[in-house]
Structure 1
Amino acid sequence: MQMLRSFFLSPWSSAERLDGKTVVITGANTGIGKETAIDLAKRGAKVIIACRDMEKAEAAVKDVIESSGNENVLCMKLDLADSRSIKEFADAINKGEPKLNILINNAGVMVCPYGKTADGFEMQIGVNHLGHFLLTHLLIDLIKRSAPARIINVSSMAHSWGSINLEDINSENGYDKNKAYAQSKLANILFTSSLAKRLEGTGVTAYSLHPGVVQTDLWRHLNGPQQFFMKIISPFTKNSVQGAQTTIYCAVEPSLEKESGGYYSDCAPANCSAAGKDNDLAQKLWELSCRMLSITWE
């Protein structure tokens, strides 16, 4: 239903400018991240593309500059599967940037075979949740000093099939790649609501979103029947430009300045699952994340 609804919706658009603002987007070398970078660069922002593969990132920077006409676009190395890389990246931003107005936690891995990050976390929870949790923690003081500022976590409607296994978050007692993906996307929503509560009164707001069913190279790990299903529904799926719209909406829409912690889809507030609204679960996940990353985040 949601797919059909978005198919007939008139596209959201806004002439909002971001001159003098600085934006960091993770995983913006391709897909919706890259389209988001192009759009925000067109609005006059300084855009920093944070990626693991510097060759791809440099090619993306060229494309973004060409498409936006904004020369103030650069890339920096960030591997969300390695806390050392996250710390080095955050350190470089904290030392090199006087402000950070918008952080878009966009990068992600999807239904990949079982693997572990450099820190021993299951790859999907490690990259999609813990990597961005640590990154946000390390940049939060700079973001607060830059208020009004926004933090945007790209989740997915897949969160609604997920649950958080606090006892075995790394799926060591059995791995189902679809469940692990759904768990990581639910974690994005719970992180957003917890973060919003902690940021009340700071001028920093947080949002999570479902970009739509987007044709991206994240589909590469889908199995045969899943690939076939995606082919059938592809007329109703979004391309990367359409898929980026809700991220852009959360980044620039002026009416959201007074909103924080919500979940969005098709450039409008949306309903997340009951688990996504579970404050007790959100608090437990927050505490577990801090323990796993050995950080203290009041």
Structure 2
Amino acid sequence: MPGPYSPNTPITTILTDLAPHIHHKTILTTGVSPGSLDYQFVAALTTCSSPPARLILAGRNPARLNAAASALSSSSSSFASSPSPSSISASTSAIGIRPLVLDLSSQASIRAAAKTVMRDWTDVAAIDVLVNSAAVMGIPYARSGEEGWGKLTGATNHVLAARDPRVGMVSHGHRLERIRFGDWGFGDGETYDKWRAYGQSKTANILTAVSLAEKLGGKGLVAVSLHLGVIATNIESHIDWNIESKAIETIDKENGNTVPWEPFHYVEPAIGIATYAHAAFDPTLKGCNGAYVLDARVADPSKDAVQQYATDKEEAERLWELTEKLVGQEFRW
């Protein structure tokens, strides 16, 4: 059996251990652009001794998707160019690399992307692993159609066709806010707080993994949420932490968290993507469906400050029902 792993276990070790569970799989990763953690994760997969069959790179910016696909294709001599089935021209390879336009703030874009994968790409029998990591953090209020609710629906339907399907929800900061069932939209912006909004979205990620595990675990789906560690990326390029860290600490105290908010301790990207790999492929997680993962291990709620409201099954069901109302569709399997 693979592992156990520590925070310092290199991703090369994890990929070697888990190679049989990566081989010939189709992996869809959201938020991929050059230099991102998601890009580094899929790039690491191309070096695996038993590589995946296909990497689907999902994102809202066609130019960045093209750049990411081209960079991946040129990074290995084993790659060869061939026409892409996507509407965006891009290189493919012995490992099929495909860009997929997907704007998670738009239900229309989500449904169009699901149609592309499920119907138009006839050679894609199933998505084996979905790594849902696209996010924004600490931004001003902006109203965007349907707010991206229900973003996993089409992909989850399709992933169930796989023999050993898995969904990973990247999540951090959930302790800043639970789900505001009475006012999830912050009074249409009138009471908006960027950090509480971020916290609510991360709580929603964790609860979604709990719901998917509860509803679809019996059909073979493994769903986990994960924290990669504090890593400097472009997602925070607009944030002045000298100011915002104080605001976050204030909210944390107002929420009554008993474990003090600690100063950020940045880790190298390689540490974060090791947790990606563990969450996406480690077979031992089948016995921990719905778990919260960090440092390439299952979190201990008593030591790792995982809030009870973020893992509560009743809260997860309430969020599921709210999401169905917001997108105007009930999901049954």
TM-score bucket of the superposed structures, by smaller chain: 0.7 to 0.9
Structure 2 CA distance for aligned equivalents of residues 228 and 114 of structure 1: 19
Structure 2 CA distance for aligned equivalents of residues 41 and 284 of structure 1: 39
The structure with the largest alpha-carbon Rg is 2
> How do residues 111-190 of structure 1 correspond to structure 2 at under 5 angstroms?
111-119=138-146, 121=147, 126=148, 130=149, 133-134=150-151, 136-156=152-172, 158-172=173-187, 173-190=190-207
Structure 2 CA distance for aligned equivalents of residues 170 and 39 of structure 1: 38
The percentage of aligned residue pairs carrying the same residue is 27
Q: Residue 280 of structure 2 is aligned with which of 236, 251, 259?
A: 251
Give the match for residue 294 of structure 1.
328
Mean Cα deviation higher: 60-69 or 191-200: 60-69
TM-score, structure 2 as length reference: 0.77
**What value does the CA root-mean-square deviation take over the aligned residues?**
2.2
1:224 offset after TM fit, Å? Answer: 5.5
Q: Does residue 213 in structure 1 map to residue 230 in structure 2?
A: yes
Structure 2 CA distance for aligned equivalents of residues 112 and 38 of structure 1: 28
Give the match for residue 87 of structure 2.
none
> 8 Å contact 1:110–1:221 — kept in the other structure?
no
Give the match for residue 62 of structure 2.
54
Give the match for residue 3 of structure 1.
none
Structure 1 CA distance for aligned equivalents of residues 330 and 153 of structure 2: 9
Q: Does residue 31 in structure 1 map to residue 46 in structure 2?
A: no
The AA in structure 2 aligned to 1:293 is V
TM-score, structure 1 as length reference: 0.86
1:226 offset after TM fit, Å? Answer: 4.0
Structure 2: runs of 5+ lacking an equivalent: 1-5, 80-92, 247-262
Q: Does residue 85 in structure 1 map to residue 147 in structure 2?
A: no
> 8 Å contact 1:207–1:261 — kept in the other structure?
yes
Structure 1: runs of 5+ lacking an equivalent: 1-5
Superposed structure 1 runs of 4+ greater than 6 Å apart: none
1:138 offset after TM fit, Å? Answer: 1.2
Higher helix share: 1
The AA in structure 2 aligned to 1:112 is I
Q: Residue 118 of structure 2 is aligned with which of 68, 85, 94?
A: 94
Structure 1 pair 171–220 and aligned structure 2 pair: CA distance change class (3 A): farther
Structure 1 pair 280–241 and aligned structure 2 pair: CA distance change class (3 A): same
1:127-176 superposed Cα distances (whole Å, 9 cap, x missing partner): xxx2xx33x211223211112110000001x1122211011111124011
